[in-house]
Chains A and B, each alone.
Chain A
Amino acid sequence: MLQLDHVRRSFGGRTALDDVSFDVADGRLTGFVGANGAGKTTTMRIVLGVLAADSGEVRWDGSPLGDEVRRRFGYMPEERGLYPKMTVVDQLVYLARLHGVGRAAARHRSLEVLDRLGLVDRARDTLDSLSLGNQQRVQIAAALVHEPRMLVLDEPFSGLDPIAVDVVVAVLRERASTGVPVLFSSHQLDVVERLCDDLVVIADGTVRAAGPRHELQARFARARWRIVVDDDAGWLRDQPGVTVVELDGPVALVELAAGTDDQAVLAAGLRHGPVRSFHPVLPRLAEIFEEVVR
């Protein structure tokens, strides 16, 4: 498990990270969301040792994270880049070797990961002869090739076509299921919502919310219900303790004031006609995000 403990970092007087603490648990996909400049990349660079923290500590399984463990991490930086003139397989072998994999195993694993990402027939092509989407896949292969003990991916889905997103999502889940902690940032909140087990929301260099996604959704749930009736649902406006958030003919989203009985609202609906659907709605990630960064 990776833990950040009161990490601070400033650049020439400007505070980039202010007392950042959160965990990335084994076998879980942790989504890291925040606006541009919120501190996501700085945090990841500190985890990888590319930047140093001014104070605070990064721990691995309880002890300070050292270079030996860190070398076995897989990293996909926000600024993509590999050697344009090297063949795909050669650079994967090279990167695997740098991450401490033996020579024979490096070759074997490079081909294996290329196969998994559907690129094995391009292994002997130079990187710059590949399409941008395929170059992105090679970049992901580069983060996976040494079978990392931890994955840190900065915006792994940007630049990927929808099919590649699905492939990468599947690969990340597969890695997490072997017990590897995965930390990934994204500004595509719908992808994060679909993928992550845990969530860390950062804004202006401070962590605004962190924890399992379902817990956060429950915590930020605001007693919202979706109701579907046969004809117009306008009658909801006259119900005591009910605020209509959205109304579109027979479909409505309502918020109940504290102490309002949801079953009373359902009963009122049944008095107006058939009720096809009535269920509580958990907040979408975008809503939680808006609320905590406000």
Chain B
Amino acid sequence: MTPDLPAADRAAERPGARGLLWVVARREMAVKLRDRAFIVSGVVMLVLIGAALVVPALLAGGPDRVAVLDARTAAVVEATGAEAVTTSSDDEATAAVRSGDVDAAVLPDAGSPTELRVVALESVSSVLVLGVSEASPVELLEPAEADPLVAVFAPLAFGVLFMTTSLLFGLSIAQSVVEEKQTCVVEILVAAVPVRTLLAGKVVGAAVLAIAQTAVLAAVALGGLALSGRADALPAELLPSLATAVGWYVPFFVAGFLLLAGMWAVAGALVSRIEDLGSTTTPVQLVVMLPFFATVFVNSPGPALTALSFVPFSAPVAMPVRMVLEGGVPLWQPLTALALLVVGAVAVVLVAARLYEGSLLRTGGTTSLRQAWRRR
């Protein structure tokens, strides 16, 4: 009740059109961050990732100690990540294995093709055996284009990441829209804020959280890899293409998220009750999941994967996957695919804004797309 407050004083902190967007976005984030289900699922996901990476390393209990007789063998053993312990004779080494002082011994053996044999008590690390056998040079006449393991792993990793993030946060956009409709608070909001600002605020709020969650998951995964010493386990020649793919994933993810966010918001605005949300979100869920499955099934470089990497809905997954599997994707290709995706996202968001505007105030039942397209 201070109508005489100086005008300048009032204007000082007043949010402008963009400020308004952030006011909306901040509420969306605050609500989500206080949502117990969201926190619990996030923590569970982090724990699972961390556990998958760190627990095996902890169970292994430090590097194996391996007894050797000479420096050449010590080098071979150390290349496998184990610790070499020099002993003076076969018998001493064998005794050390028996006493449990060392986990294994690598001793000269004229009868073996590598001129080495591995001595162990009950079982032996396969890494050590492989390391010892690989001491001889290997020549591949026709190396495979992509490691078969990586070919399965890369699409899954990018696909699962994109799919779960856009499903989780997309659904929360839709729920937040219906909640405002169901509780009728929307009429006050629409009277105060342009409908597009409201929509933009919701999308931005969800996008910021989605990006933050992705970043945290990535940090935990990378940190876990470093901690467990498994980063070395990745084939060295893969690292540059993996880094490129991750770098490109960021803009693709942001644009792809916007593309879907518009559709989620419309799905929410079309119904009046949270119970009816399923009927309008199912098509959007399909649009999220089909490209994921397509990319996972087409997990080898070829025309199909190339095509998928240009289609806006599958590009955020398929393009980074191609970069991992193929290595040198020409620069114009991700640029074109990203441009297509951005154009697609802008088009969808514009259509979505109009549909959102047209359906937001229709309470009672489910609004058809045609009704929503009409003016209020």
- Using a CB-CB cutoff of 8 Å, which residues 268-287 of chain A contact chain B? none
**Interface set, chain B 12-65, CB cutoff 8 A to A:** 12-15, 20, 23-24, 27, 31
Of A85, A94, A102, which is within 8 A of B12 by CB?
Answer: A102
A99 to B361 CA separation, bound complex (whole angstroms): 19
- Chain A residue at minimal CB-CB distance from B191: A48
Chain B residues within 8 Å of A97, by CB = 15, 23
Q: Provide the bound-state CA to CA distance between A99 and B363, in Å.
A: 24
Q: A101 CA to B183 CA in the complex, in Å?
A: 24
A83 and B187 in contact, given A51-B376, A94-B23 (Cβ under 8 angstroms): no
Contact of B192 among A98, A102, A104 (CB under 8 A): A98
B-side interface residues, number (CB < 8 Å) = 32
Decide yes or no whether A95 CB sits under 8 A from chain B: yes
Q: Which B residues touch A104, using CB under 8 A?
A: 13
Give Cα A100 to B192, complex, Å: 9
Cβ of B185 within 8 Å of any chain A Cβ, yes or no, is yes
Q: Which residues of A contact B111 (CB under 8 A)?
A: none
With the chains together, A231 CA to B17 CA distance in Å?
A: 73
- Known contacts: A48-B191, A98-B189. The answer to whether A77 contacts B184 by CB under 8 A is yes
Considering only residues 182-197 of chain B, those with a C-beta below 8 Å from chain A are 183-194
Residues in chain A near residue B189, CB distance under 8 A: 98
In the assembled complex, A82 has its CB within 8 A of some CB on chain B: yes
Check if A208 is an interface residue, CB within 8 A of chain B.
no
Decide: B15 and A100 in contact? CB cutoff 8 A.
yes
Decide yes or no whether A234 CB sits under 8 A from chain B: no
Contact yes or no, B191 A70, CB < 8 A: yes
From B188, B190, B193, B361, name the one whose CB has the most chain A CB atoms within 10 angstroms.
B188
Closest residue of chain B to A142 (Cβ to Cβ) is B188
CB pair A95–B1 under 8 Å, yes or no, is no
Pairwise interchain contact B14-A98, C-beta atoms closer than 8 A: no
B137 interface residue per 8 A CB criterion: no
Q: B15, B185, B192: which contacts A81 (Cβ < 8 A)?
A: B185
In the complex, how many angstroms separate the beta carbon of B30 from the nearest chain A beta carbon? 8
On whether the beta carbons of B1 and A112 are closer than 8 Å, the reply is yes
Which A residues between 170 and 203 are near B, CB-CB below 8 angstroms? 174, 178-179
Contact A102 B194, beta carbon cutoff 8 Å: no
Name the CB-closest residue of A to B13.
A102
Question: Is A71 interfacial (CB-CB < 8 Å)?
Answer: yes
Min CB gap B172→A, angstroms: 14
A79 at the interface (CB under 8 A from B): yes
A102's contact among B1, B3, B10, by CB below 8 Å, is which?
Answer: B10
- Which residues of the other chain, A, contact B99 by a CB distance below 8 angstroms? none
Check A81 against B183 for contact (C-beta < 8 Å): yes
* Distance (whole angstroms) from the CB of B12 to the closest CB of chain A: 6
B375 interface residue per 8 A CB criterion: yes
Residue A26 at the B interface, CB < 8 A? Answer: no
User: Is B112 at the interface (CB under 8 A from chain A)?
Assistant: no
Chain A residues lying within 8 Å of B193, measured Cβ to Cβ, are 71, 98
CB–CB A75/B191 < 8 A: yes
Contact yes or no, A105 B375, CB < 8 A: no
Compute how far the CA of A71 lies from the CA of B27 in the bound complex, rounded to whole angstroms.
19
Q: Is the CB of A67 within 8 A of B24?
A: no
- Pairwise interchain contact A81-B184, C-beta atoms closer than 8 A: yes
Cα–Cα distance between A149 and B179 once the two chains are bound (Å): 29
Q: Hey, which chain A residues are within 8 Å of B23, CB to CB?
A: 94, 97-98
Which of A83-110 touch B at CB < 8 Å? Answer: 83-86, 94-95, 97-105
Q: Is A163 in contact with chain B by the CB < 8 A criterion? A: no
Residues of A within 8 A of B190 (CB): 49-50
What is the distance, in angstroms, from A48's C-beta to the closest C-beta of chain B?
4
Asked whether B184 lies within 8 Å of A79 as measured between CB atoms, the reply is yes
Docked complex Cα distance between A142 and B187 (Å): 12
* A209 to B71 alpha-carbon distance, docked (Å): 108
Smallest Cβ distance from B273 to chain A, in angstroms?
13
Given A98-B24, A100-B14, A112-B1, A73 contacting B191 (CB threshold 8 A): yes
Name the A residues within 8 Å of B24 (CB-CB). Answer: 98
> Is residue A52 contacting chain B, with contact meaning CB distance below 8 A?
yes
Q: Do B185 and A105 touch (CB < 8 A)?
A: no
Are the C-beta atoms of B186 and A81 separated by less than 8 Å?
A: yes
Question: Which A-chain residue is minimally distant from B30 (CB atoms)?
Answer: A90
The verdict on B2 contacting chain A, using a C-beta distance below 8 Å, is: yes
A77 to B194 Cα, complex, angstroms: 17
| A237 adjacent to chain B (CB < 8 Å) | no
Contact of A99 among B31, B192, B376 (CB under 8 A): B192
What are 25 contact pairs spanning A and B, CB under 8 A?
A48-B191, A49-B190, A50-B190, A52-B376, A71-B192, A81-B183, A81-B184, A81-B187, A81-B188, A82-B183, A82-B188, A86-B31, A97-B15, A98-B24, A99-B192, A102-B13, A102-B14, A103-B13, A104-B13, A105-B5, A112-B1, A116-B1, A147-B1, A147-B3, A178-B1
The 3 closest A-B pairs by CB, nearest first: A102-B13, A81-B184, A79-B184
Apart from A98-B193, A100-B15, 8 more pairs, CB < 8 Å: A49-B191, A50-B376, A71-B192, A82-B183, A94-B23, A99-B192, A104-B13, A142-B188
Interface residues of B (CB under 8 A from A): 1-3, 5, 10, 12-15, 20, 23-24, 27, 31, 179-180, 183-194, 361, 363, 375-376
